[in-house]
Chains A and B, each alone.
Chain A
Amino acid sequence: MSNTFTLDGKEIPFQDGQTVIQAALDAGVYIPHLCHHPDFPPHGSCKLCTVKINGRQTASCTMKAQAGMVVESNIDELNDERRALTQMLFVEGNHFCPSCEKSGNCQLQATAYQLHMLTPHFDHFYPNRPVDASHPDYLLDTNRCILCSLCVRASRDVDGKNVFALGGRGIKTHLLVNAKSHRLGDTDFSGEDKAANVCPVGVILKKRQGFAVPIGQRTFDIKPASEYVDSRMPTKEV
C-alpha cells in the first residue's frame, strides 16, 4: 500500500518507518537541516528542519511520516525562525567565513544563504575555544562547532572508535576528544574514518588541503543547498 502525506501541498510518498525529512528528501524536496544525515539515526538538535504538521511545529527529522499528514515547510513564518536559529549558531561560535577552509562547502553557510541571512543579527558571544593541531593530518577548530554530533555518531556507529563526544552543559556544551590529553593526535582517529568526512562545518579539516577548489567552483558556489537534494540522498534500502 502506498502511503503519502502532503508537504506544502505536494503529495509525498513514504515507506513505513521513514521520517518526514527522509521522505521529503527522497522525493526531491528540500527541508533545511544541519544535524540530519541520511546515513545516521536522527538526532534532532539543530531544529532547522522544524516543520508544521497539522498546525503544530515539530522537527521533521525525528517525526515519523504518517499517511494523511499535512506538512508545511517552505513558509515565511518557519523560514524566519530558521533564519534566527542559523543566526544563533553564527553568534554562538566564531565564524569568520573569509578565513575558513570550509567556506563554499559548508552546510551552515549554505543554509544561511538559503535562508537569506544577511547578518548574524544578535550580539556575538566570541567564545574562547581551542584549536587542536596535534594530529598529523587533521585539524580540529572547535570555534566553528555547531554541536550536531555527526562526528560523534560516525565515529561510534561506523568507525567503531568513539573518538568524539559532547561534554559540558548548556551554552558551555563542547566537543570532547577521547584522550587523556584531549588531543586528537593522541587518539586512533584517521583520515579513513567516516568521522573525518562528516562534519558539516569547518571543524574537522584535512591539513594541507585548504582552499584547494577556487572560488566559484566550490559545492555551494555552483548551486544552492536546496538543489543538492537528490544527489545527497543515499540509495534507498527497504
Chain B
Amino acid sequence: MSASTKPKLKVATTSLAGCFGCHMSFLDIDERLFELVEHIEFDRSPLTDIKHVGPCDIGLIEGGLCNAENVHVLREFRRQCKVLIAVGACAINGGLPAQRNPIPLPMILEEVYHTSPGLHNGLIPNDPELPLPLNQVHPIHEVVKVDYFMPGCPPSGDTIWKVLTDLLAGKEPVLPHELLHYD
C-alpha cells in the first residue's frame, strides 16, 4: 500500500459474546499495524476506549449475541458502519457460547445459580444493571445484515490483514486456502 493523501478510513471494533481472541489476533498483524494506521483511524474499540461508535467506514464484530446489550451494540454498529464484518467463529456461527443453545435457558440458570456446587441456593441475579441473556446465542448475521465474514478461531493476523488491505484497495476480499480456516 502506498501512503496517500486520501482521508483515513474510520474503523470501529467490538467484542460481543467473544473472548477477545480475535482482537488479540488483530494485534498479531504486528508491525504492519503501523502501516495500517497510515490508512485508518480507530473509532470505538477496546483499543481506544471510545464508548459509542460514530459514523464509520468499517465495523469489525467479534463474538455472537448472547444478551440484550450485545444486541444494542450490534445495532449501533450496523447503524453507524458502512461495512460490517463478522470476525471469527463466534460472530459467524455463535461459537462456543452457542453450545448452550439446545438447552433451555431457565435450566441453565437453574443449574448455574441453584444446583452447581459453591453457589448452592444462590439467587439468579436480577440487577437491572446486568444485561439479560437471550434464550439462545445467535451469530450476528441472524440479527443484522453482515457484509463480510472472516472465519477462524481466531482468524489469523494474516487473514485480518488480507481482508482489510483488500477492502482498502477497493477489492472484494478473497482468502486463499491457507488463510481459510474455521478453527
Contacts and interface: CB of A to CB of B under 8 A. Distances in A.
A147 B177 CA distance: 27
B141 interface: yes
A118 B175 contact: yes
Contact of B89 (A94, A96, A112, A121): A96
A44 interface: no
Nearest to A112: B182
B183 A98 contact: yes
Contact of B93 (A96, A129, A224): A96
A124 interface: yes
A119 B142 contact: no
B182 A128 contact: no
- Determine the main DSSP class of A at the interface with B: loop
A186 B141 CA distance: 42
B149 A119 contact: yes
Contacts of A104: 183
A137 to B, nearest CB: 24
Nearest to B89: A98
B126 interface: no
A103 B151 CA distance: 14
Nearest to B142: A123
Interface string B126-155: 000000000010110110001011110100
B167 interface: no
B4 interface: no
B177 A113 contact: yes
A114 to B, nearest CB: 8
B88 to A, nearest CB: 9
B23 to A, nearest CB: 16
A235 interface: no
A94 B182 contact: no
B96 A124 contact: no
Contacts of A10: none
Contacts of B40: none
A95 interface: yes
B2 interface: no
A109 interface: yes
B151 A98 contact: no
A14 interface: no
B24 interface: no
Which of A97, A104, A129 has the most CB atoms of chain B within a 10 A radius of its CB?
A97
B65 interface: no
Nearest to A104: B183
Interface stretch (B8-16, B42-50, B98-106, B112-120): B98-106
Contacts of B177: 113, 224
Interface in A110-132: 112-113, 116, 118-121, 123-124, 126-129
B182 A119 contact: no
Contacts of A112: 182
Contacts of B102: 94, 126-129
Contact of B92 (A103, A120, A126, A128): A120
